[in-house]
Amino acid sequence: MAGPAGGRFGNALRSRDLRLLLAAFGVDAVGGWAYNVVLVIYVYERTGSAPMIAATTACGWVPRLLFSAYAGVLADRYERTRVMVASALACLATTAVLAAVVFTDGPVVLVLALHVLTASAATAYGPAARAIVPETVPEKDLASANALFTVLENLVVVVGPAIGGLLLLTGEPGWGVVVNAATFVVSALLARSLRVRSAGGAADEDGGLLAQVRTGLTALRNEPVALVLVLYCALDSGIYGALAVLYVPMSEQFGTGPKGYGYLLASMALGGVLAGGLVNRLASSSRLAPVIVGGMCVMALPVAASAPVTSPVVGALLQVVAGTGMVAVDVLAITALQRDLPRTVLSRVFGVLDTVVLAGILLASALASAVLALTSPKATLVIMGLGFAAVSVAAVRPLLRADRTAAAEHAALRPRVALLEVLDLLAAAPTGVLEQLARAVQEVELAAGAVVVREGEPADAFYVVTSGEVAVTAAGDELLRTLGDRSYFGEIGLLRGLPRTATVTTTEPTTLWRIAAADFSAALETSAPSASMLRVAGARLARSGPALAA
């Protein structure tokens, strides 16, 4: 398994922009975790109040809950790399002031207010970055790219708090805030170095901020499968929220005391890291339902299975298993959203996703606390684990319908894909790319004598002759060739960026496949033109436009 997975990760990592995005994410996330640990301890030591720990945590979470949907609009309204840079620099400004307040032991209420401002400024970064990812790698490597982000995220869960703990040993918590500020500088520089330029469609739409948020919601509502995937992300995040409450009693049950919370959290993160290669394999499945629901059950059932456990080793292993399920759901759901939804609304969709996920975490943690107050820890583990698994299975119908639709579409596209393979247009093109081309086909039926393309006109499409015959002429009426079944034309203008070099006319009733230039070019971005097509195009250009060929 490691070989193919490693190969797919390697393919994704060939993208310079993806490497920069990963580096920016990793630096920012490590700084954020370290900063949160330092800030919580600092506020607690200043106030001696346990409720202030909850208040400090809430100051980081609530702004994201309230503003993520609106931040997604900003990331769709402006060029996304600029949004990332602006978000990082705004966070730098607020944390620089916060560092000064912490160094001088300023008012705690000011510390919390600046914490709120930092969290608010950061909300636009995530939706912008996730909307850029599909533009940094070919579609075949998209799941691998998302898996890399998730593996890195789980590594950070272990590394970030550890760095925060080390910074606390300096005796001056202000340095923890300074380190976080420095990570924003690095993130801004890395984002600014991205070559890709990506923009949504919000700037071209009428209406205010709220109307444009509704556009993102409408895009989700119009794609039932996408909406269900968002809800599954909320469910798996809900399990995480419930475990945040349950890890302390679980650790006490396993005999490691309240301080064992950290090793259980690290065990789940380890599962996420180990699952990276597995997710790559699962991403190639044409069936979403068993993978998503299976991942949810793999995450939820170990929670219920922990009820009778008293061994810390067994308890940790169960959390490793749960971590693999969480990664599977997150990566496949995010990848499906990136593939299926229009890129003009993608940041808004991810802003909505962030809001829903945070709401799921908060609601599930509140529910777990309530159940824990009414019953025993063991009963709470069973109720929460089995409950989440049952909800996951109950919500599977839309995914099953999507799987059936996808299977029918795949069967319908198979003859088109088979002909495209015979034509040998692209070098080592994966099936997914050929299916994209097949999906873009417009079937055109023409009578004899119809002009399909005219010499000198802009090249706007690629054509395949599936039945009938066409004549290719240039420089007036000079006949260059005739083309019959299983042949193609129109490639020269698209490959060379030239106007049409010849006129193509049907000589008998003819059926053509028309593939728009944008769809053909998108395929070429993923797979290079084959040696066969380049040879054919070169030979044809030598006859129809020898000056251009030279």
pLDDT tens track for 411-428: 888 899 889 888 888 766
Element (H, E) at 443: strand 442-446
List pLDDT tens digits, range 139-157.
778 888 888 888 888 888 7
Spatial separation of the C-alpha atoms in residues 215 and 199, rounded to whole Å? 16
| 3-class secondary structure, 549 | helix
Element (H, E) at 33: helix 16-47
Q: What's the pLDDT band for 550 if we cut at 50, 70, 90?
A: very low
Q: What's the pLDDT band for 5 if we cut at 50, 70, 90?
A: very low
Spatial separation of the C-alpha atoms in residues 255 and 347, rounded to whole Å? 45
Spatial separation of the C-alpha atoms in residues 295 and 301, rounded to whole Å? 10
Q: Which of 55-59, 181-185, 223-227, 402-406 has the lowest mean pLDDT?
A: 223-227
Strand-by-strand arrangement of the 487-489 sheet: 442-446, 510-516, 461-467, 487-489
User: Is 458's pLDDT higher than 90?
Assistant: yes
pLDDT at 205: 66
Compute CA distances 473 → 268, 310, 451, 479, whole Å. Answer: 66, 82, 11, 4
List pLDDT tens digits, range 79-109.
999 999 999 999 999 999 999 999 999 999 9
What DSSP letter does each residue of 188-203 carry, written as one string? HHHHHT-------SGG
The CATH code of domain 15-133+172-194 reads: 1.20.1250.20
Q: Taking residues 500-505, report their average pLDDT.
A: 92
Cβ contacts of 509 within 8 Å, gap of 6 or more: 445, 446, 447, 448, 468
Spatial separation of the C-alpha atoms in residues 235 and 88, rounded to whole Å? 29
pLDDT at 491: 92
Residue 547 sits at φ, ψ, to 5 deg, of: -65, -40
Q: Between residues 224 and 500, which one has the greater pLDDT?
A: 500
Element (H, E) at 543: helix 531-544
Spatial separation of the C-alpha atoms in residues 59 and 32, rounded to whole Å? 14
Say what the pTM is: 0.72
The CATH code of domain 412-549 reads: 2.60.120.10
End-to-end Cα distance, the chain: 49
Q: Which two tokens stand for residue 265?
A: 């959290």
Q: Which of 48-52, 267-271, 301-305, 392-396 has the lowest mean pLDDT?
A: 48-52
Widest CA span in the chain:
92
Whether the CB-CB separation of 458 and 481 falls below 8 Å is answered with no
Q: Taking residues 248-271, report their average pLDDT.
A: 81
pLDDT at 484: 94
pLDDT at 259: 65
pLDDT at 249: 87
pLDDT at 546: 56
Domain span(s) for CATH 1.20.1250.20 in the chain = 15-133+172-194, 223-395
pLDDT at 106: 93
Whether the CB-CB separation of 7 and 140 falls below 8 Å is answered with no
Upper half-sphere CA count for residue 32 (Cβ side, 13 Å) = 20
List pLDDT tens digits, range 317-358.
999 999 888 888 888 888 888 877 777 788 888 888 888 888
Spatial separation of the C-alpha atoms in residues 505 and 363, rounded to whole Å? 65
Spatial separation of the C-alpha atoms in residues 239 and 337, rounded to whole Å? 21
Helical packing angle, 2-13 and 276-283, nearest 10°: 80
User: Is 1's pLDDT higher than 60?
Assistant: no
Domain span(s) for CATH 2.60.120.10 in the chain = 412-549
| 3-class secondary structure, 441 | coil
What DSSP letter does each residue of 466-526 carry, written as one string? EES-EEEEETTTEEEEEE-TTEEE-HHHHHHT---SSEEEESSSEEEEEEEHHHHHHHHHH
User: Is 6's pLDDT higher than 50?
Assistant: no
Element (H, E) at 13: helix 2-13
CATH 1.20.1340.10 fits 223-395, yes or no: no
Q: Between residues 354 and 528, which one has the greater pLDDT?
A: 354
Neighbours of 261 (CB within 10 A): 19
pLDDT at 257: 78
Instruction: Name the average pLDDT for the chain.
Output: 85
Spatial separation of the C-alpha atoms in residues 237 and 375, rounded to whole Å? 23
Q: Which two tokens stand for residue 120?
A: 């608010």
Q: What's the pLDDT band for 7 if we cut at 50, 70, 90?
A: very low
Neighbours of 228 (CB within 10 A): 23
Cβ contacts of 109 within 8 Å, gap of 6 or more: none
User: Is 462's pLDDT higher than 60?
Assistant: yes
Q: Between residues 342 and 34, which one has the greater pLDDT?
A: 34
User: Is 494's pLDDT higher than 60?
Assistant: yes
List pLDDT tens digits, range 263-293.
788 888 888 888 776 776 666 666 778 888 9
